[in-house]
Amino acid sequence: MRTAIFLALLIAACCYAVRRGGAPERIVAFAFLAAYVLTIAVRSSRPERYFDIETGVFIVDVLLFFIVLAVMLTANRVWPIWMTVLMMMAVGGHIAKLLDPAVIRTVYQIMLSFWGWPAVVLLILATWRHQRRVALNGADASWRRSLRAAPRSILRPPQAG
């Protein structure tokens, strides 16, 4: 039942982010959906699940972490910082099992699955905040300005003389 509720919340959050969010929210929404599908595809069968490290799920979680990290480093938003921390906690669950295989199966499962709930809620809040900024300001810049986009006068050293 929890899985069905989570899946419904995930789909609703991702549809909301894709429809109403800015580019950072949409990227994370698509990454979440892809990670969910890939996790289902690569996880162990039910009797063996979580007894050993879930290598396929670990790889999916690391990839998701790096996608969210890239958004965090380039987006003109604060929420990706929190999202990156949540993804790091999920990856940390895998590392804990890798370092100590005696970690109890249920504890490992909770360490992996818990972080998805606040992450999905955070995506909903991030999308709502984006909509609010657009309504108040007429626009909401998705990305930070990079040096490549800076005017040439900023990039050139001052001329002597």
Digit-coded pLDDT (tens) for 93-143: 999 999 999 999 999 999 999 999 999 999 999 999 999 999 999 999 999
161 domain residue, yes or no? no
Compute and round to an integer the Cα radius of gyration of the chain: 19
Question: What is the value of pTM for the model shown?
Answer: 0.87
What is the percentage of the chain residues whose pLDDT exceeds 90? 82
pLDDT number for residue 154: 46
110 domain residue, yes or no? yes
132 domain residue, yes or no? yes
Number of domains in the chain: 1
150 domain residue, yes or no? no
77 domain residue, yes or no? yes
Q: What is the pLDDT of residues 17-29, one digit of tens each?
A: 999 999 999 999 9
pLDDT number for residue 73: 97
142 domain residue, yes or no? no
147 domain residue, yes or no? no
158 domain residue, yes or no? no
Domain ranges, residue 82: 2-136
pLDDT number for residue 118: 98
